[in-house]
Amino acid sequence: MGEADLALESVTKTFTLGPQELHVLQGCDLALAPGDALAITGRSGSGKSTLLHLIGTLDEPSSGTLRIGGEDPFALSEPELARFRNRTVGFIFQDHHLLPQYTVLENVMIPTLAFPGEGGDEAWARELLERVGLSDRLAHRPAELSGGERQRVAVARALVNRPALLLCDEPTGNLDKKNADAVIDLLLELNAGSERILVVVTHSAEIAARFPRRAELDEGRCVEA
């Protein structure tokens, strides 16, 4: 899937822990078009990661509708959904989640190998690594990189399947300011003029201010600035 709209209507998420019901999302509406870049802020525990998981189809809403490219991904069978997620969504987390035993280039290639007969596009992986400024680190292993470099590898890996959605959960949370700024520069730069939707969860008002669209999670709702 090259590009897709994202639409959430009255999305709720409730977690049940024994006798306790936790109403984390209580009616989230959100509409994003190809090329949009949105920052989501909100206090710790406000449901930012929960929302990002739903958008990334890692978890299903309790009620409401979520459509990607006009389709309800949760209508797919489990294997179809796994394939859809692999092709449509790129994730970047606070921790880079690179595999220590593999090189930089191999780490970037891993998402292309999930479904046999597809992908394996090494030329594109190399080009992405060039765009994130790491062409001279292809054979390094994660332990041989700085924290900022590791996160830039994670950016290239998230883009290797040409996802319609790039979802980042506090991607700069483990970085110092200089590296954090560089990763945000890179994300915004890579998205400018692309048809990809970029969603970045961040604690930092300063980082959020750099995004064309901003929303805050408050009382289980997504309030756009």
Ligand X SMILES: Nc1ncnc2c1ncn2[C@@H]1O[C@H](COP(=O)(O)OP(=O)(O)O)[C@@H](O)[C@H]1O
Are 138 and 69 within 8 A, CB to CB? no
CB closer to ligand X out of 60 and 130: 60
CA nearest neighbour of 115 among 156, 144, 85: 85
Give the three-state DSSP class for 154.
Answer: helix
Contact of residue 202 among Mg ion, ligand X, none (CB under 5-8 Å per partner type):
none
Identity at 126, one-letter amino acid code: R
Interacting span for ligand X (CB under 6 A) from 38-46, 67-75, 108-116, 117-125: 38-46
Least separation in angstroms between CB 189 and ligand X: 26
By CB under 6 A, tell whether 44 contacts ligand X. Answer: yes
Locate the DSSP E strands across the chain: 6-17, 20-32, 37-41, 63-68, 89-92, 165-169, 197-201, 213-218, 221-224
CB closer to ligand X out of 17 and 75: 17
Give the pair of three-digit tokens for residue 149.
């470099």
# chain residues binding ligand X, by CB under 6 A: 12
By CB under 6 A, tell whether 45 contacts ligand X. Answer: yes
Q: DSSP string of 83-140? A: HHHHHHEEEE-SS----TTS-HHHHHHGGGGSSTTS---HHHHHHHHHHTT-GGGTT-
Least separation in angstroms between CB 167 and Mg ion: 12
Least separation in angstroms between CB 116 and ligand X: 31
- Work out the number of other CB atoms within 10 angstroms of the CB of residue 113: 11
Contact of residue 57 among ligand X, Mg ion, none (CB under 5-8 Å per partner type):
none
Least separation in angstroms between CB 64 and ligand X: 16
DSSP letter, residue 74? G
Summarize as ranges the residues that interact with Mg ion (CB under 5 A). 48-49
Mask 137-166, x = binds ligand X (CB under 6 A)?
A: ------------------------------
List residues binding ligand X (CB under 6 A).
Answer: 15, 17, 22, 24, 42, 44-50
